[in-house]
Amino acid sequence: MGVPMVRITLNRVYAVRDHWSLSASGTFNEGVHLVSGDVGSGKSTLALMMAELLPLSGGDIEREEITTSMLSLQFPELHVTALSVAEECASWGVTPDEILDAVGLTGKKEASPLSLSRGELKRLHLACVLAKDYDLLLLDEPFSSLDCEEKVKLCARIGQKSQGICVIFTHEQNILPRVNRIWEIVDGTLVDCGIPPDAFQHWRHVPPVIERLTALGSPPDNISRDDFLEAICRIQG
């Protein structure tokens, strides 16, 4: 008997607001998924619907073998539920010392989480979220407020995840992890672009570096920086 596969399926899911709508259909299997789209296209709304935190205007979501799920909101302040950094770590069920050392915030245990800069708070929040394994992990704009170095570290951390579904909702174009499938929201509809590198042909939000490498006859295999470097090396022989 095989290991049960986690899977989340969106069946004609849609959300409607005053003059705006979003519709989504598709299956997210185990692995890392990227959902791209313009600002205001509905990425956060889709993330909230997949996390069952926002009622659907129609359709339904099937969750198979998903027992634990987590959504990281775009703005880390909104997750703050404690008055000190140590208490905030504890509220995520993680040991403060380990996490604070890992994100370079040692000595700020007693500080208010809101006294940290947006970047520091985002680092702390993501470290707390990624400290545990979830069957479904939804990351809404995880790269916002992070500098290049931290974005690279985050990509590496996401790449280490060996189980479950991880969906990244972002409009980041430069520093991304290797992904198993690419999706995008175009004109209020979720579109399945497919598996990289074939997905690049249909991906409207394709990063400029991929377009350039493809034009030079050396498309990358995936969307991480290592893949870009490998494609550049191919050009240079």
Partner 1 sequence: MQDPRIRIAVAAVLSLAAFISLQGAAAVFLWWLVFTPRLQLVKRIRLVLSLLLMIAFFSLVLELFGGGGLSYFTRMTVIVLIGMWLFSEQKSGEFLSIGVWLFGDRAGFELGMVAEMGMQSLVAVTTDLDRIRMAEKIKGMQWEVRSLVPAGLVLVHGALARAEDTAELLAIRGYQHGGTLCPKFFTRRMDIVAGIFSLCILIFALIPVSEFFILYR
Residues 58-117 that bind partner 1 (CB under 8 A): 70-71, 73, 75, 77-83, 91-92, 112, 114
CB of 91 to partner 1, least distance (A): 6
With beta carbons less than 8 A apart as the criterion, state whether 157 and 32 touch. Answer: no
Q: Between 81 and 95, name the residue whose CB sits nearer to partner 1.
A: 81
Token duo for residue 122: 């985002």
Shortest Å distance, C-beta 73 to partner 1:
6
What gap in Å lies between CA 235 and CA 5, rounded to an integer? Answer: 39
| Distance of alpha carbon 146 from alpha carbon 75, whole angstroms | 12
Burial of 138 (0-12, 13-18, 19+ CB in 10 A): buried
Pairwise CA distance, residues 56 & 5, whole Å: 25
Structure tokens at 123: 């680092």
String marking each residue 112-141 x if it binds partner 1 according to CB under 8 A: x-x---------------------------
Q: Which x/- pattern, by CB under 8 A, does the window 26-65 give for partner 1?
A: ----------------------x--x-x------------
Q: Footprint of partner 1 on this chain (CB under 8 A)?
A: 48, 51, 53, 70-71, 73, 75, 77-83, 91-92, 112, 114
